[in-house]
Structure 1
Amino acid sequence: YGLQRALYDGAAMAFLTQLAPAAAPRMEALIAKHLLPGVKNVKSLLRAPPEPQGSTHVLFEAFWLERGPLELPGGGREEDGSGRRFVMTPSVRQHLTNLARAVLIRKHPILLQGPTSAGKTSLVAYLAAQTGHTFLRINNHEHTDLQEYLGSYVSDAAGRLVFREGPLVQAVRRGWWVVLDELNLAPTEVLEALNRLLDDNRELLVPELGEVVRPHPHFMLFATQNPPGGAYAGRKVLSRAFRSRFLELHIDDIPDSELAEILEKRCAIAPSYAAKLVAVQRELQRRRNAHSVFAGKH
């Protein structure tokens, strides 16, 4: 990518990804001013470089991302991993650009933080589908057991005890993209078990097998969480040391105009109906935040 492009993308990864959308353009201008003083046309610098040899990568926005083993969506179809139509809006495109930049590094897990229904998991599912990777989602809750991640012993057809690998072990072995949803709801023992997978060694210990599993080259780990406190009861504050293992992306609420557009195109409804649905959702969110209706106190 060249030194100047690397400087820009590194600064963007460090500073842009946790800013509000309104502040991002100002930070982009500052990055260009101080890191690229001799570049008159920054947009030309940010174009995709030539394709790597061997058809091993997929062009997404301006980034060549490593291609997975699955067939890619044909005919320019905008689909997520479940085959549903994916509606690309300006804010969604910006989030996907930031996500693709983080995925390009491939050495670090990625934490997406934002409010409920902001599209955090959908962004990863879409990018996985567009690059040919298997996508897996693991939900967390207060009573998540480590066996749900790693697996447990079960009886086979012959009545023998055999170890059935959990979804995380399968993902690590086979090179899947896995999202740990609502990570800050998971118990402490689950978070501690992830430490070795998150650090530079990237290893997953399976105590029942006495085996250390090392990730497939295509394996990527993502996590999502709602901001702790406030309207999101039960979410714990992850320690600074734990969070420092992730590249963090902040995902804001989808603007009302874009949310209405998504409803129109995904559900094939009239614009007036879509606008009313968005208005009702925002009113419910306002009442929830004001009165703690869904905080488990009623």
Structure 2
Amino acid sequence: MDSTPAEEILHDFPSHVRVYKDGRVVRFKGTDTVPPSTNPDTGVQSKDVIIDPETGLSARLYIPNNPLHNKLPILVYFHGGGFCTETAFTLTYHNYLNSLVAEASVVVVSVDYRRAPEHPLPIAYDDSWAAVKWVASHSSAGGGEVWLKEYADFDRVFFAGDSAGGNIAHNMGIRVGSCELDGVKFVGMVLIHPFFGGKSPIGSEGSNSEMIIGKEVADKLWLFVYPSSSGSDDPLFNPVVDPKFSSLVCDKVLVCVAEKDFFKDRGWYYKEELGKSGWGGVVETMEAAGEGHVFHLFNPTCDNAMAMLKRVACFLNEDNA
């Protein structure tokens, strides 16, 4: 039996999203939102804030148990999900950031940017930049969020994200280099399995069948979430071709990769090219043996996930030499 026009599929990414001809969007993950809370095990507190009522841009804030009177590093976090699934309020990210805040004793602002395909890129970038500027506004009398005023150290600001969120974190770092943020010191970035690409295959992308398929899907997904993009060598997707690549103003970058992730070679390539670009900071890489893409979200108590959690926590608290 032939399907009706309403049932015809226009775009299909089985691990993420499906779009029908009648405009329906079905997401296959990242729909299980949970409210903010005080975690009974760690004491980490969270609450939700509206950043821009006109667009609906919002965020979930986290502070550790008993933050005392010491000012804490600020981590602006961008969730993953291929720019089209997940939110800052899903159980996966709520649990992960609870654990990270407890381990690292930092203030986290988890950004809930608008998602494709209803809001194609560059909207997520613009939302994320608006959130970064909102955070920075609290370094003076401009911002009104008590947790940021009371607990945040604006001389220790970090960006982080996984997958698409890692892509966003990098691009926010590039924007800081072009548009300085008054009153804050942007110290570093943590890019976890970042969603980067490029027209020409690198490493095992040109020889390993799984990596070849992974690259094809990633390239297709990129054009789905950003239809007006120039393609796989768009600097927003392939950062090493960006003339502004070396303009990062942070001191250090940690790139986390996983052995079985089809973005692994892109993470290593980013690390190597950033080190050769003339940028004056320190870039490090941590690879998880035997693991796949964003494994730490699905298996947060495994040895590799716990090791990565501790490494990220140390990175956020190291002296900013």
Higher helix proportion (structure 1 or 2): 1
For the aligned pair, the TM-score class normalised by the smaller chain equals under 0.3
TM-score for the superposition, normalised by structure 1:
0.25
> Looking at CA atoms only, which structure, 1 or 2, has the larger radius of gyration?
1
The structure showing larger relative contact order (alpha-carbon pairs under 8 Å, at least 6 residues apart) is 1
TM-score for the superposition, normalised by structure 2:
0.24
Higher strand proportion (structure 1 or 2): 2
